[in-house]
Structure 1
Amino acid sequence: MSGVYRPKRQRYTLEQSPQDEVEEHVAAAPSSHENSAAVGLSAPGTPSESQNPEQTTTTSSVLITVDEESTQEEGNSSSGDEPNSESLFTPSIEGKVAEMMEFLLTKYQTKEPTVKIDMHRIVEGYEACFPIIFQRACECIELVFGLTVKEDDHLDNGYVFCSTLGLTCEGILKNDHGVPKGGLLMVVLSTIFREGNCATEERVWKVLSRIGVYPGIEHAIYGEPRKFLTQELVQAKYLEYRRVPNCHPALYEFLWGPRAHEETSKMKFIEFWAQVNDTIPSAFPDYYEEALKEERAKAMASSSASP
């Protein structure tokens, strides 16, 4: 919509990778579920003996990511052509983003048609901000739950949900309330890729601790994460979990499983990172080159297998 400012995403170097934004958004995941979608957005925090790990502070401020350099420039100037994105996202607008997320997740769970006219009822009084609210809600659902919201070719002004990275096993990638758990798998697969196609268990849990996910502690969305990672996702062949050879005491590591290689690819991750950072895949040259090699290898294998 013309005349509506679309806030800039935060840019990252290779040292501060796109996964940092994924982790930040996963930390903003709904903290509790009843029969449908979430009622709040939880901030991450390391549980202690005096704090119940399931009792979290409700906030939606983590949903908003801005270009830090751009924000500094705007802060040093009293005028500008575009409004400051931080000032644009008032608590009321942030609340509408959370409501939109809840609405979309409910539609996903109930498999009911998702149409724009219903979304406009949610943003009543903030119609001019609808594109921004809808965009942010879709970004968070993609990053937190591994779902992409896209236009429905068979329904005017309608939308459908699909897996962001092509992962298909819905049974294993949903919790008891039908809420998708694909976002956690995305973070783990991304970590493995970034760590050279093999990540130690210690490294994986260190990454997950940044989003409030700890081994042995029940998570509102992901359940007991150790079982989910080392058993359920291994049985579904999305992950491999093996002991590191010649290592005492015993250490374990994660790799992509055969189903992950079959259903998604490194190039899909690169394209996703590029989308998150409003850039192009080649902006991550080392990873991009590795992904290209994988694509070429798959093409050659497919060609040689053809009659």
Structure 2
Amino acid sequence: MMRIFIEASGSITSNYLIEAIKDANCEVIGSDISTFNHSKSLCNDFILMPSVEDPKLWEKTKKLLILYKIDIVIPSFDETMEVWASKIDEYKEIGIQIIISPLETIEIFQDKWKTYNFFNQINIPTPRTSLKDEYEIIKPRQGRGGSGIFKNNYKQNISMEGMISQEKIEGTEYTVDVFFTYKGLPLYIIPRKRLDIKEGKSTKGIVVRNDAINDYIIKISENLSFLGPINFQLFETKEKKLIFIEVNPRIAGGMALGFNASQNWVTLIIENIIHKKEVKAKEIKYGLKMARYYNESFFF
């Protein structure tokens, strides 16, 4: 039975992934920097991780993964993505498969300025963006969720070190769950409207069909390599224009809806990416809705 390691399993959206791993007949090994979280009682095993500030983080991580006999790593923590991508070959030599896109892809989409330039280069519609405080929204070049984002009031000097300004886009917000095969081809492209968002996390959504979104995703994938679950974010304006905001080159908290609208993507990871078996997409359940709620976990 394969043992799959997941990061930050104490997050409030991790339960769907824990269940998906178990449903794929694998053991899930959770991890966090604290043992006081629900995943410690839900996972088959749990690793107390060092802080990302620990200078020996990666030396310790490698030892822990060997100690806990990990077979597969599914990275999901933005702060560690680039390092995971740089260690694909190193870990493969000791029998550990990291499910992550190539380092070049991670470096582009971990940096909003590089993302903007990449989209412009291949003619993907995206908000006007600057390294100066020109536009309405100020964002960190690197960051996750809504952390560090604020409106530009143009009345005070803003330090733009490590920041970008971006044109404000209004409209319907979409997240697109995409599964890329070991050949880098999109097997599933599942757009979902984000109907309710709390603290940057999707709590209500509906799967919709949008062929124009599919075409853009295919175009992006023809210009850069992807592997496994990837998350695209965009808006559709009142004029029905699609504007791509960012790409999270990893599994994401809202993908529970994408999984349920298609199939268990952990099973796909094992069959297609690990064992290199050819797989066929199942029919997508357009119109499927998701509403999330808090649940309790009790432990000693």
TM-score (norm 1): 0.32
Query: Which of the two has higher C-alpha Rg?
Result: 1
If the length of structure 2 is used for normalisation, what is the TM-score? Answer: 0.33
Query: Quick check: which one's helix share is greater?
Result: 1
